[in-house]
Structure formats: C-alpha cells, structure tokens
Amino acid sequence: MVQTSNSQLAILGGQSVRSTLLPYGRQWIDEADIETVIQTLKSPFLTQGPKIKEFEDSVAQYVGAKYAVSFSNGTAALHGACFAAGLGVGDEVITTPMTFAASANCVRYCGGDVVFADIEPDTYNIDKYKIKSLLTPKTKAIIPVDFTGQPADMDEIMELARERKLVVIEDAAHSLGAEYKGRKVGSIADMTMFSFHPVKHVTTGEGGIITTNSPDLYEKLLLFRSHGITRDKDLLELKNEGDWYYEMHELGFNYRMTDIQAALGSSQLGKLDDFVKRRMEIAKHYTEAFTKNSTIITPFQKPDRESSWHLYIIQFKLNELTAGRKEVFDALRKENIGVNVHYLPVHYHPYYKELGYEKGIAPIAEALYEGIISLPLFPAMLDSDIQDVVNAVEKVVGYYRKS
C-alpha cells in the first residue's frame, strides 16, 4: 500500500511505514556458501591451507590484476599496503576526509602524516586539483577512495603520482565490481584494497585483500601479513640450515585470513555480478523516485565509470526544509528505515582533532556532512522494501518541506 505523504509521522505518534526495521546493509549467505564452509571445517586446514590461494587467485582474476594478498580485514590490508609502500615517520599521504577512518588510520600506523584533500561537490570523491595543491616534497603516497562505489579520477591521480614517483593505494572497499573507463577496479592503482565486511559487496565475515601488478609489492605484502617471516631460500641469510629454518626480516603482523573465510569468499565471489546488478537496480529505482523531489539531490555519476553502489546517499537541500538532518534521520528511523550517515569527516574525530586538524580544512566535505543520509541498499532487498524506503522518505520530507 502506498503511504500518503500527509499521514502522521511515526515520530509524532503516527503509524510507521514498516513494522520491522530495514537495515541499511546486510550480507546474503545462501546454502552453497554454508556447504562450502562446512567442507572446509572438515578439511585438514582451517588456516594457511589451499583455500587462501584459491580465493586470492579468483579475486585477482576477477579484477584483472596479477597478484592478490588476502588479510584478516580491510584495515589490516591497508596497513599492509602502507608498509609495502615504504611509508614511515615524516612521510605525508594525501587522502579524502569523506571516508571511513581506516583510510587515514593506516598512514598513522606507519608513523606517517595524513593530509586531507577536499572532495568534488558532485561525486563526493577526492578532488584531483586539491591533491595537486597539497603535494610537497614529503608527499609519498595518495589514497583515493572510490566513495559509495564510484571510482575516483584514477587516470589523473595516477598521472600525478607517476610525475612525482608517489605510490597510489586505492581504497576500493566500496567499489568491488565497479568499472573505470571499461576496466574493473583493481588493477589501476599500484595497490587496491577491497574489504569483505558483511555490509560490503561480498563477505568473508571479516576480511580484506590487496591486488597489485607489482611482484615487488606482492612479496612485501606477503611478508608483512605473516610476522615478517620468510622461508624463501633465496632470501634467507643462512642458506644451509634445515627445512625447519625460517627468518624474520621485518616487523610484520599476523594479519592472515583463515581458510574458512577464504572458502566463504570464493563461494560469495561467484555471486558478485548478480549482487552488483541488483544494487544497480535499486539505485536506479531510488534515483527515478527522488529526482522529482526538489528538496533532494540524488547521486551524480560520471559517464565514463560504473559504480558498484555500495552506498546510496541522498543530500537534502537544507534551506528548503524546516528541520535539519538530525530530525529527518530520527523521523526515518522511527518509520523503521535503517538510514545511516557516511561519514563523519575523518578530521572531526577527536583523535585527529588532538593531532591538530581543524574544522575548515575541507569545507565541501564539511558542508556535505550536514545534509546527507544513506538509504538502505543491499542485494537481498525486496521490491517492497525499496518502495517502503521511497514512501518513508517522501512522507518525512513532505512533512518538513517549507510550505
């Protein structure tokens, strides 16, 4: 049943659009996934077995990269990438403030300094011109984020990096399955990170991966993931020890994924294209519904790339509403729509404030943050769920719209 926009808001005591909460994101696990995991649990290897390489090879093949190194989560993968890039104390790394904190934290893990470049007002992706203006002799790397699933301006960013010999680590946690100028995201930057957290496109529970075409970076990533330990005879300092012998060459971590997770990942990967297709359909439906609404700005897409739609964000024209984002957000939650906000600009977090980052360094991201809401978006959503979201947004925005 279509809810009329003049019915009473749930937050004011009216009936909610839905009786149960629709989350903003959720995994889709089927019987085949469960069977694969059970088989692995019955196999000799729960970790460091054959499922890891199988999963890594499938991801590398899917994105068109030569190598892939899996990690216990996407954040660990970013840490690995910063290590492999050789980041250290005093190095500067440019990233966007409109992202999850991990995109910047990975720089801090290595002792580097984060430099926030503001975003484009239409795509909300990092602005290549801002990157250029922030380059210094200390700049060592750039971490663009494919925000919401739409690839950043990778050609221009790669060109800047080549001129200055910088390393580019693409945070593609949102963009597995996305395309940039006809190529899948995953082989464009020096290293590309994907996350397999349950709200991302495919899941391993927790998990992450770095894809790369560089054999040198590949070796460094492998070393870092497993304590910095090597058994490679070519690399060992003492070459005549027995087979038991290994050496630790770097201060690495145990950031390994288990075979249980990798098996789930391989099974999930087979469904990725269908998942992305469904995400695109849902996004299209939202855009068609909301472009008619003059108080809502729908996501802008550049024509030479295809988003894989991790998030669908609507921006409110706050001067056309009688309420702020908080009221609209609270009202939508009361309608049982699991809306969210992505993201608090990273430099607003107390940890970064403490380091000296101030409000005003990224005015476009800061202004955007005041007026955005992420709508539920996951492949298992039913058409009726999509309609509930549309009805609830129209109902709430209709109420708060200025005459």
Ligand X SMILES: *Cc1c(COP(=O)(O)O)cnc(C)c1O
* Footprint of ligand X (CB under 6 A): 73-75, 99-100, 102-103, 145, 171, 173-174, 195, 197, 208
- Compare residues 255 and 329 and give the one whose CB is closer to ligand X: 255
State the nearest-atom distance from the C-beta of 152 to ligand X, in Å. 12
- Compare residues 145 and 390 and give the one whose CB is closer to ligand X: 145
Closest CA to 228 of 202, 254, 204: 254
Instruction: For residues 357 and 132, give the distance between their C-alpha atoms in angstroms, rounded to a whole number.
Output: 19
Closest CA to 217 of 205, 229, 225, 207: 225
State the nearest-atom distance from the C-beta of 143 to ligand X, in Å. 9
State the nearest-atom distance from the C-beta of 205 to ligand X, in Å. 10
Instruction: For residues 347 and 98, give the distance between their C-alpha atoms in angstroms, rounded to a whole number.
Output: 9
Instruction: For residues 105 and 95, give the distance between their C-alpha atoms in angstroms, rounded to a whole number.
Output: 11
Type of residue at 354 = E
State the nearest-atom distance from the C-beta of 70 to ligand X, in Å. 11
- Compare residues 78 and 321 and give the one whose CB is closer to ligand X: 78
Instruction: For residues 103 and 44, give the distance between their C-alpha atoms in angstroms, rounded to a whole number.
Output: 36
State the nearest-atom distance from the C-beta of 199 to ligand X, in Å. 7
Residue 318: its H or E element: none
Instruction: For residues 324 and 315, give the distance between their C-alpha atoms in angstroms, rounded to a whole number.
Output: 12
For residue 106 the two structure tokens come to 């990975």
Contact 144/170 with Cβ under 8 angstroms?
A: yes
Q: Is the dihedral of CA 66, 81, 363, 397 positive or negative?
A: positive
How far is residue 77 CA from its own chain's centroid?
Answer: 12
State the nearest-atom distance from the C-beta of 203 to ligand X, in Å. 10
- Compare residues 120 and 335 and give the one whose CB is closer to ligand X: 120
- Compare residues 10 and 114 and give the one whose CB is closer to ligand X: 114
Instruction: For residues 8 and 24, give the distance between their C-alpha atoms in angstroms, rounded to a whole number.
Output: 23
Give the residue closest to ligand X by C-beta.
Answer: 74
- Compare residues 74 and 112 and give the one whose CB is closer to ligand X: 74
State the nearest-atom distance from the C-beta of 317 to ligand X, in Å. 26
- Compare residues 103 and 139 and give the one whose CB is closer to ligand X: 103
Residue 131's Cβ-side half-sphere holds a number of Cα atoms within 13 Å equal to 29
State the nearest-atom distance from the C-beta of 69 to ligand X, in Å. 14
Residue 250: its H or E element: none
- Compare residues 99 and 391 and give the one whose CB is closer to ligand X: 99
Instruction: For residues 23 and 333, give the distance between their C-alpha atoms in angstroms, rounded to a whole number.
Output: 10
- Compare residues 197 and 220 and give the one whose CB is closer to ligand X: 197
3-state class (DSSP) for residue 403 = coil
Instruction: For residues 247 and 241, give the distance between their C-alpha atoms in angstroms, rounded to a whole number.
Output: 11
- Compare residues 149 and 290 and give the one whose CB is closer to ligand X: 149
State the nearest-atom distance from the C-beta of 26 to ligand X, in Å. 15
State the nearest-atom distance from the C-beta of 194 to ligand X, in Å. 9
Angle subtended at Cα 352 by Cα 78 and Cα 95, rounded to the nearest 5 degrees: 45
Instruction: For residues 266 and 216, give the distance between their C-alpha atoms in angstroms, rounded to a whole number.
Output: 26
